[in-house]
């Protein structure tokens, strides 16, 4: 097989070793990594549409049903930092493959689950597997593909899979739930098996890192992040003043403060403070958190709007998000082309402007709105904007990181997205509920208080009208705040992200053999 050698660029923060040499088939390597990332990301939404069927078949109580989603979120978000550091210490390919295998086996157990305990246990293990695989997937791109055109293209595909995965999950969830909800888990089996098989053979292994595992840091990070994520999730379903919410948020914050203190004092920290302390990376992480917080409003509220108000079936609802996936992919590829010519802050800043306009467009939805005229244009604009945001920020989030820290740096980015989404859902749900209740009270007060008693049909129609009006009003207020979040992220990007596009092309790479 013929090969072309890509000249090595000097890395200021560390040198590649022979074990870091990228695989010969970079295209197949990218496919393997992105397939794993897509599987992990779409699992966050694919299960949502199946929840009513799961509740019926496994006799879930309504109170416990939310744990099918929450326990996955807790395990995934809580263990991400540890998963990243394990990759740096013991091999990124090894942890990536183990994570995929664990995720796949847990998917099998979830698919054959016969009761609540079996399902919840499997979902927790899925989260653990995802936390091992996700940060090491991004790190493998950073250490496999040479800085410049190859890495930009790879990051474009990776960011597209990450951004479109949630929408693809809704589409698959709707289609598979029409057959049997268990296929929402079984679909991971062939994907996971192929990724593990080819990952072991195609991806190159990194050398084991130096140092030892920071056990106190691991314990405080896992406990702190889990408590924070649970507190935010609980706030979304209750209130910010609820005693349980306040307790978990306070405990989570205290543990994370303890984690930071520990990391500044141990010889081999789980998260070296030089990683988030760098201006470029710190800005990228924070903006990802803010944008993630705003983005989750779109999936959550639009999913309900499309099904309950437009009256779409689960499958048709999933297909309604297909333009979002297409928009993300197109914009991500455009961003990967532009990043070698334009500084990342201008690309991400422009993306934030598009995304803000798209989110603002949803504030005008009413019960009488139609998909084609009032929804589709804003979905496309939002998706295009987010695609322009994700690629540059994914690159800048790992820019200049020493190769021995690449997995944990990737884990911080994943953690920011996870925590940001949870913060956004909790905050925007509170805004939504408060405005919905106010609108219900306002519309109810306007109902005729005298005259002949309404028929059952008239009463049902009036209740439906109030419910739809109140929902769209409450959601519109949440969209306003989400648009502000994304706009703030854009402003921060323009002001604080000062890395130049030429610097991204000299981040260092090993000789790559492409054939």
DSSP sequence for 300-366: HHHHHIIIIIS---HHHHHHHTHHHHHHHHHHHHHHHHHTTTS-HHHHHHHHHHHHHHHHHHGGG--
d(C-alpha 158, C-alpha 329), whole Å:
10
pLDDT at 510 over 60: no
pLDDT, tens only, 484-505: 999 999 999 999 998 888 887 7
Reply yes or no on whether the pLDDT at 419 is more than 60. Answer: yes
Distances (CA, A) of 509 to 141, 204, 365, 366, 505: 11, 14, 48, 52, 10
Question: Residue 418: which pLDDT band, with cuts at 50, 70 and 90?
Answer: confident
| Token pair 């099998």 in the structure block, residue | 108
Write down the pLDDT at residue 494.
Answer: 95
With 50 as the cut, is the pLDDT of residue 267 above it? yes
Q: Is pLDDT larger for residue 173 or for residue 409?
A: 409
> Which range, 44-48, 125-129, 408-412, 460-464, is most confident?
125-129
Mean pLDDT value across residues 216-235: 88
Instruction: Identify the residue with better confidence: 458 or 240.
Output: 240
Q: Indicate if the pLDDT at residue 506 is higher than 70.
A: no
Percent of the chain with pLDDT over 90: 38
Cα dihedral 127, 128, 133, 139 sign: positive
Residue 451 confidence (pLDDT): 65
Query: Is a pLDDT exceeding 60 seen at residue 271?
Result: yes
Query: pLDDT, tens digit, for every residue of 99-109?
Result: 999 999 999 99
Half-sphere CA count of 343, side-chain side, radius 13 A: 12
| Residue pLDDT, tens place only, 341-386 | 999 999 999 999 999 999 999 999 999 999 999 999 999 999 999 9
Query: What band does 225 get if pLDDT is binned at 50, 70 and 90?
Result: confident
315-337 pLDDT, tens digit per residue, is 788 788 889 988 988 998 899 88
Q: For residue 512, give the H/E element and its range.
A: strand 512-514
């Amino acid at each position: 097989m013929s090969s072309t050698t890509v000249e090595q660029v000097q890395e200021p923060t560390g040198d590649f070793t022979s074990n870091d040499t990228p695989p010969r088939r970079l295209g197949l390597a990218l496919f393997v990594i992105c397939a794993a990332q897509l599987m992990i990301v779409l699992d966050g939404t694919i299960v949502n549409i199946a929840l009513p069927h799961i509740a019926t078949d496994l006799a879930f109580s309504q109170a416990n049903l939310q744990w099918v989603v929450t326990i996955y979120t807790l395990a995934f978000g809580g263990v991400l930092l540890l998963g990243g550091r394990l990759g740096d210490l013991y091999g990124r390919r090894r942890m990536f493959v183990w994570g995929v295998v664990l995720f796949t086996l847990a998917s099998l157990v979830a698919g054959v689950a016969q009761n609540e305990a079996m399902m919840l246990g499997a979902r927790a293990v899925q989260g653990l597997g995802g936390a091992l695989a996700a940060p090491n997937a991004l790190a493998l791109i950073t250490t496999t593909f040479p800085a410049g055109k190859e890495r930009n293209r790879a990051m474009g595909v990776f960011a597209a899979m990450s951004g479109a995965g949630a929408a693809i999950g809704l589409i698959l969830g709707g289609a598979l739930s029409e057959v049997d909800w268990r296929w929402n888990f079984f679909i991971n089996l062939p994907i996971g098996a192929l990724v593990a098989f080819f990952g072991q053979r195609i991806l190159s292994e990194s050398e084991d890192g130096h140092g030892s595992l920071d056990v106190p840091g691991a314990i405080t990070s896992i406990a702190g992040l889990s408590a924070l994520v649970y507190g935010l999730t609980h706030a979304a379903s209750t209130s910010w003043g609820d005693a349980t919410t306040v307790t978990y948020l306070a405990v989570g914050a205290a543990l994370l403060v303890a984690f930071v203190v520990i990391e500044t004092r141990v010889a081999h920290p789980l998260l070296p403070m030089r990683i988030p302390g760098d201006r470029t990376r710190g800005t990228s992480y924070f903006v990802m958190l803010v944008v993630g917080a705003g983005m989750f409003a779109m999936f959550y509220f639009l999913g309900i709007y499309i099904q309950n108000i437009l009256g779409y079936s689960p499958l048709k609802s999933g297909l309604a998000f297909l333009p979002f996936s297409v928009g993300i992919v197109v914009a991500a590829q455009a961003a990967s082309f532009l990043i070698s010519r334009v500084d990342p802050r201008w690309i991400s800043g422009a993306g934030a402007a598009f995304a803000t306009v798209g989110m603002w467009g949803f504030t005008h939805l009413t019960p009488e709105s139609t998909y084609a005229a009032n929804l589709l244009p804003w979905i496309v604009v939002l998706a295009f904007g987010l695609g322009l945001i994700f690629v540059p920020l994914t690159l800048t989030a790992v820019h200049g990181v020493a190769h021995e820290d690449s997995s944990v740096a990737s884990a911080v980015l994943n953690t920011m997205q996870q925590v940001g989404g949870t913060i956004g859902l909790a905050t925007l749900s509170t805004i939504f509920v408060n405005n919905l209740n106010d609108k219900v009270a306002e519309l109810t007060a306007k109902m005729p208080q005298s005259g002949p008693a309404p028929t059952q049909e008239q009463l049902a129609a009036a209740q439906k009208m109030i419910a739809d009006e109140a929902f769209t009003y409450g959601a519109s207020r949440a969209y306003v705040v989400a648009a502000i979040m994304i706009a703030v992220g854009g402003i921060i990007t323009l002001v604080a992200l000062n890395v130049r596009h030429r610097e991204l092309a000299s981040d260092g790479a090993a000789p790559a053999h492409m054939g």
